[in-house]
Structure formats: C-alpha cells, structure tokens
Structure 1
Amino acid sequence: MNNTIVLLIILAVLVIFVLVVLVKSIRIIPQARAGVVERLGKYLRTLNPGLNILIPFVDRLLPLLDLREQVVSFPPQQVITEDSLVVSIDTVVYFQVTDARAATYEIANYIHAVEQLTTTTLRNVVGGLNLEEALTSRDRINGQLRGVLDEATGRWGIRVSRVELKAIEPPLSIQDSMEKQMRAERERRATILTAEGTKQSQILTAEGRRQAAILAAEGDAKAAILRADGESQAIQKVFDAIHKGNPDQKLLAYQYLQTLPKLAEGSSNKVWIIPSELGEALRGVGSALGDFLPDTRGGAERTPAAPAGGAEADARATGAVSPVDGHQRQGEAPAS
C-alpha cells in the first residue's frame, strides 16, 4: 500500500515536470512581435512570429518587442528662441523597431532615449529661429528633427518615420500682441477691400453715365437729322406746291405781308428793322387792291399807287413801330 502511494506521487511529479518542460520548450510568437532568446545569458537568436522550440532551463526568452509603428507624445518642452522668447512646444514622434536585438542590447530604454534626444534636438533647432519663423516653419523644424533622430536611433534598431509639432504656445503677452497685430491687419485688409469696392462702383457708375451720355447724344443727333430731313422735305413740298400753283406777284406780296408780324414776336424783341422790300410789296398790294376800290363818282376807280421812296409812309401804314426805353418810335427802313 505504501509502495503504491509512493509510485503515484513519483508519477505525478514526472507528469508535472513533463508539462513544465513542454511549456518552457514551446513558444508561440504573435504576428508583428519579436522575441530575443538568450542561452546561458548570451544572445542566441531572435524568434520570428509562429511556433518556436526552446531548451527548457537553458534558453530564456526576453519580453517580446512590438514591431509595429508606435506613436509617443512627449510633454511640453520650454524652448528659448533666437529673440529670447520662451515658447512651449509639444512634440509627437512616430517610430518603429526594425532590429529587436539592437533595441534590446544597444539601448536600455529606447523610448526614454527618443524623448531626451527629441528635446535636445528641438532646442537646438528652435534656438536658431525667431518667434515668427518658429511659428511659420513647422515643416522645416519637423524635417530637421526627423533627420537628426533617424540618424541617431539607427544604431538602436529604431526607425523614426515622422516628427510633428503638436502645439507651439508663445507667452500670453506675445499672444495678446499677435492678436492685436492680426486684428489690425484684418481691419487694414477690410478697409482696402471697401475702398476697392467703392472705386469699382464709381468706375462702373461713371462708365454707365458715359454710355448713357453717348447714347443720348447719338439719339439727339439722329433726332436732329430726322427733324432736318423732315423740314427739308416740308420746304421742298412747299416749294414744289408754290411752283405748281404758278403764283403771281400779287399773291407773293400778300404772303410777304403776312410774314412780317412774326418778326416782332418774342418778349426780347425791342428793335426790329423793316426790310427795304416792304415798299415794293406795299405798292404791289396797293395796285392789286386799287382795282377793286369803289368809285365815289359812280364807278370803280384805281387808287393811285404810293409814290416811290415812301418807305416812311409805308411803315406808318403798317403800324410797324419799335418800343425803346418806354417810347413809341416809328420803324425806319433802310434805303433800297
């Protein structure tokens, strides 16, 4: 009975030992991971993803390393610019482990090393720039940081792919000054745009007025041409009608006398001159009307014609006078 119990205990210990050996011997490495194996304290090999066999109690597997690209955000760093201003800069570093052996044996803590290297490099780069250049040259700073970090971390088995400046915060007093400057710049641009709009509006208004004046002038010119053509045609028709009617001297003299009152029309006509042809016209009218005057002695008798050179009597007969300085003055006809 005692022997049986002893055998069972020994068998159980052997089973447990075998299980422990199996557990220690078989290692499954996940994808995008890498494991460094040491044999008796010395580097042996790097395990790839998949099933791997180790010698228990001889080989030791170190903690697995992540081969994926990692993102590390470092706390804000106080950096002094070239113009002696302190700015706070937040950085983000994108890196990837490319050599598990170098990342294990070449550096004790590669994340801490990348952080410290980023801080020192950032101070060197930003220290050579003024505040305005530091605020507007992010791509330049990123490129310089990436170049320095990638060169320094290459021997550590790490590849730095990107370095980004998450935030650059100048002092509060500088921020207030920058806000005032930006506000003044926006107001200046708004004033310029308003002036440009007013200028363009005035130009367009003047152009419209000029076009309107040109069109009005063209319309007046065409209207004047049409009126002149109409008057010309009217005169031509009157002239043709007169010639077709074949008027005699008596009719022409009568029409001439009807036209004379139009010479005195208008409030500004203070003096008007009787034409020299008036006497001849009156003599023609008198001779025409004399044939029809009644004869007191029993028959029609011709009225004697007005003597030649009677321009004054002719003017008195027509009643043509000119008011000058409030006095009535008889019109005088120039000698024919």
Structure 2
Amino acid sequence: MTVALALLGVLAIFVILLLAQTIRIVPQARAGVVERFGKYRTTLQPGLNVVTPFVDRVRYMIDMREQVVSFPPQPVITEDNLVVSIDTVIYFQVTDPVAATYEIANYISAVEQLTMTTLRNIVGGMDLEQTLTSREDINRGLSGVLDEATTRWGIRVGRVEIKGIDPPPSIKDSMEKQMRADRDKRAVILTAEGQRQSAILTAEGNKQAAILNAEGEREARILRAQAEREAAILKAQGEGQAIQTVFQAIHDGQPDQSLLAYQYLQMLPKIAEGDANKVWVVPSEITKALEGLGSAVHEVAGIPQHTGGVKHRVDMGPSLTELEEQRKANSSSADAEVQKAIAAADSAAQGRSTDLPPPPPSSPPAEEPPA
C-alpha cells in the first residue's frame, strides 16, 4: 500500500513536470526563441504555446516594444581641436527576434559603440560653433547611419537625440563673456536708440511750439499794428479837426494886435521854464514893454492893428454832460462811424487832398514913410 502511494506521487510529479515543459505562456509584446538540441526551431508568439518537453527549450525571451537607452557622455574632438562631451539617447525597437538573437551577441552595446564612432565622425567635421548650433543635423546623421547598420541585426532605430553638449570650462567662460558683451552691446544700442527717439520727439515738439509761438506773435503784432494804425488815424483826424476849428475861429474872430500881445504874455512863463534859465529879468516898465511890443507887432505884415465889424464867438461845442448823454445815445453807431473814419483815412493816405479852406491873401506890406 505504501509503495503504491509512493508510485502515484512520483507519477503525479512527473506529470506536472511534463506539463510545465510542454505548455509555455508568452506575454504580450514578447517573442520566445525556441531551440531544439541547441538549434533554432521556432519563435513563440504571445499567448499559450505548446512545445515538445525535454527536447525543445525557450532560449531567449525578446522584448518587442520600443526601448530607450541613454548613453553616458562621450568625449568628442571638434574640427578646431576642442574637446566637448556629448551624451545621446537612442530610441530603437526589435523587429526580428531571431536576428537580434543570433546575428549579434549584445545589440545594446553594439548600438552604443556605433553611436559613439558615428558621432565622432560627424562632429569631427564641425567647429565648436557649428556643433553647438547644429543638433538637428547631428541627429539626422546619427539616425541615418544607425538605421542602416542595425537593419541586419533585426533592430530599427527610430530616433537619436542629443541630450547635451558640454564644452570645456574655459570655453564656457569665454562664451559667457561673449554673451555678456553682446547683451551689453544690445543694451547700449537700445539706450542710444531710445535717447535718439527722445531727442527727435523733443526737437519736433520744440519746432511745433516755436511755429505756434511765431504765428501767435505774428497775429498779435498784426493786431497791435492795426490798433495803432486806427488810433493814429483817429488821433490825426482829431488833431486835424482841432486845427481846423482853431484856424476857423481865428479867422472868424479877426485877430488884432491886442490878441498878439495877450499871446505874448502867455508865452513868457514858458520861456522861463528852461533848465539853463537861471536868472530871468522882468522889465520894470511893463507898460512901455507892451507899447514896444504893440509897435513891433504893428509892423508885422498882414495883421491889422484894429479890426472892425462884428465879433463872432467861437462855438466851443456841447458841455461835458451833453457829450456824455450824446455818447450814450450814439453808442450803437460808434463802430460804424469808426469804420467810416478808417476808410476815409485810408483814402486820404492814398493821395486824396484835404478839404481845408485856402488861407486869406496877405495884404501887401505897408510902405514906410520917407525919413
């Protein structure tokens, strides 16, 4: 009984081992390479697979997904003999698990070495400036070479990216100084342009202000000149009317020697008003002086000693109260009268003769009696 149970146990264990060797489950996006007696037999697809136990063996389980491998920085010499460190990232995918297993021993190491050699060939034909600014060109060159070389390994290189390019510390310092100088230069240029624009705008503003001030001064001068012209015209008209009135009054009053003596007496204080007149002697015999004055004036041609006829009084015009009332009554028509006066003055300035009456003919000088 005990022996039978032992045999059944051994048989069960053998069955379990047999099933484990026969049934193979392959995960999704994986591929199993099966060998029979060390020779490639078939490739297992994802899912449940059956193999011959103790004869077939799943040697490799290949990952069919796209993989990303980052390589450490590699020293590369540029065309101008500067050493830069470049680290890359490779995106690849296994397309043929059999070729990836039997065509190359370690495809990741092979891709790394191929990337390093290709990168040195590409960067060796560029200077530092081109290396730092031509990442896309380097990426395209690496992708083309790697894709062509890895096709027979059953690998497809999707993309190659440059993670970083690190120049030497001395070159970094020089580049920073150059960048700082360029920024300072741009700052100075922008400041100069700002000052230039400010100066231009200020000059334009001053120009406009000067033009406006000149126009305003011109209009003000024109208005002042017109006002002075009108004032001068009115003043000249007033003086002319006053002279005409005085002249007419003198002729109407028929002046004689007494009037001239009176005018002489009125002029005596004005004669003494000069600063140089320190001493002025009044004649003691004023009567004789007046007689002498009368006799002297008697000899003036054209002025009689005594005049006859009716004496006419000069009309002095209305009083101040009447003038104020007349001004208030005629305030509405004052502007029109002024314009008429200005027009008349303009006509007179252009050559019109005045309407003053001619002076009376002077009488011939009296003949002196013979001595």
TM-score (norm 2): 0.64
Q: Distance in 2 between matches of 1:186 and 1:248?
A: 86
> For the Cα contact (< 8 Å) 2:35–2:57, is it kept in 1?
yes
In the TM superposition, what is the alpha-carbon distance from 1:229 to its structure 2 partner? 5.2
Alignment equivalent of 2:132, drawn from 131, 135, 138: 135
Q: Distance in 1 between matches of 2:259 and 2:3?
A: 191
Identity of aligned residues (%): 61
Task: After TM superposition, list the pairs within 5 Å mapping 1:97-246 onto structure 2.
Answer: 97-228=94-225, 230=227, 238=234
Q: Give the aligned residue type for 1:36.
A: V
Q: Does 1:303 align with 2:260?
A: yes
**Cα gap change, 1:134 to 1:304, in 2 (>3 Å):** same
Q: Give the aligned residue type for 2:36.
A: R
Q: Deviations over 1:36-76 (max 9, x none)?
A: 12233222222222221222112211232112211111111
> For the Cα contact (< 8 Å) 2:89–2:161, is it kept in 1?
yes
**Cα gap change, 1:291 to 1:20, in 2 (>3 Å):** farther
In the alignment, structure 1 segments of 5+ residues that lack a partner are 254-283, 296-300, 307-313, 324-336
- Counterpart in the other structure of 2:19: 22
In the TM superposition, what is the alpha-carbon distance from 1:223 to its structure 2 partner? 3.1
Q: Distance in 1 between matches of 2:70 and 2:133?
A: 21
Q: Distance in 2 between matches of 1:289 and 1:114?
A: 140
**Cα gap change, 1:233 to 1:154, in 2 (>3 Å):** farther
In the TM superposition, what is the alpha-carbon distance from 1:174 to its structure 2 partner? 1.7
In the TM superposition, what is the alpha-carbon distance from 1:8 to its structure 2 partner? 1.4
The size of the alignment, in residue pairs, is 270
> For the Cα contact (< 8 Å) 1:250–1:288, is it kept in 2?
no
Q: Decide which structure has the larger Cα Rg and report it.
A: 2
Alignment equivalent of 1:79, drawn from 76, 79, 82: 76
Q: Does 1:89 align with 2:86?
A: yes
**Cα gap change, 1:250 to 1:177, in 2 (>3 Å):** same
Q: Distance in 1 between matches of 2:61 and 2:227?
A: 111
Classify the secondary structure of the residue corresponding to 2:60.
coil
Classify the secondary structure of the residue corresponding to 2:72.
strand
In the TM superposition, what is the alpha-carbon distance from 1:230 to its structure 2 partner? 4.8
> For the Cα contact (< 8 Å) 1:290–1:303, is it kept in 2?
no
- Counterpart in the other structure of 1:250: 244
Q: Distance in 2 between matches of 1:286 and 1:213?
A: 57
**Cα gap change, 1:290 to 1:76, in 2 (>3 Å):** same
In the TM superposition, what is the alpha-carbon distance from 1:249 to its structure 2 partner? 4.1
Q: Give the aligned residue type for 1:8.
A: L
Q: Give the aligned residue type for 2:130.
A: E
> For the Cα contact (< 8 Å) 2:34–2:60, is it kept in 1?
no
> For the Cα contact (< 8 Å) 2:67–2:91, is it kept in 1?
yes
Q: Give the aligned residue type for 2:158.
A: S
Q: Distance in 1 between matches of 2:273 and 2:57?
A: 147
**Cα gap change, 1:25 to 1:189, in 2 (>3 Å):** same
Classify the secondary structure of the residue corresponding to 1:64.
strand
Q: Give the aligned residue type for 1:13.
A: V
RMSD over equivalenced CA pairs, Å: 3.4
Q: Distance in 2 between matches of 1:224 and 1:115?
A: 93
Q: Give the aligned residue type for 2:102.
A: Y
Q: Distance in 2 between matches of 1:68 and 1:203?
A: 67
**Cα gap change, 1:247 to 1:225, in 2 (>3 Å):** closer
In the TM superposition, what is the alpha-carbon distance from 1:98 to its structure 2 partner? 1.4
Classify the secondary structure of the residue corresponding to 2:79.
coil
**Cα gap change, 1:186 to 1:8, in 2 (>3 Å):** same
> For the Cα contact (< 8 Å) 1:287–1:305, is it kept in 2?
no
Task: After TM superposition, list the pairs within 5 Å mapping 1:45-60 onto structure 2.
Answer: 45-60=42-57
In the TM superposition, what is the alpha-carbon distance from 1:225 to its structure 2 partner? 4.2
> For the Cα contact (< 8 Å) 1:33–1:48, is it kept in 2?
yes
Q: Distance in 1 between matches of 2:106 and 2:251?
A: 143
Alignment equivalent of 2:10, drawn from 13, 23, 31: 13
- Counterpart in the other structure of 2:314: none
In the TM superposition, what is the alpha-carbon distance from 1:111 to its structure 2 partner? 0.3
In the alignment, structure 2 segments of 5+ residues that lack a partner are 277-371
Classify the secondary structure of the residue corresponding to 1:108.
coil
In the TM superposition, what is the alpha-carbon distance from 1:144 to its structure 2 partner? 0.3
Q: Distance in 2 between matches of 1:206 and 1:126?
A: 56
> For the Cα contact (< 8 Å) 1:286–1:303, is it kept in 2?
no
> For the Cα contact (< 8 Å) 1:291–1:302, is it kept in 2?
no
Q: Give the aligned residue type for 2:140.
A: G
Q: Deviations over 1:164-206 (max 9, x none)?
A: 1112112222222222222222221111111111111111111
Q: Distance in 2 between matches of 1:232 and 1:169?
A: 89
Q: Deviations over 1:74-94 (max 9, x none)?
A: 111111111111111111111
Q: Distance in 1 between matches of 2:29 and 2:201?
A: 70
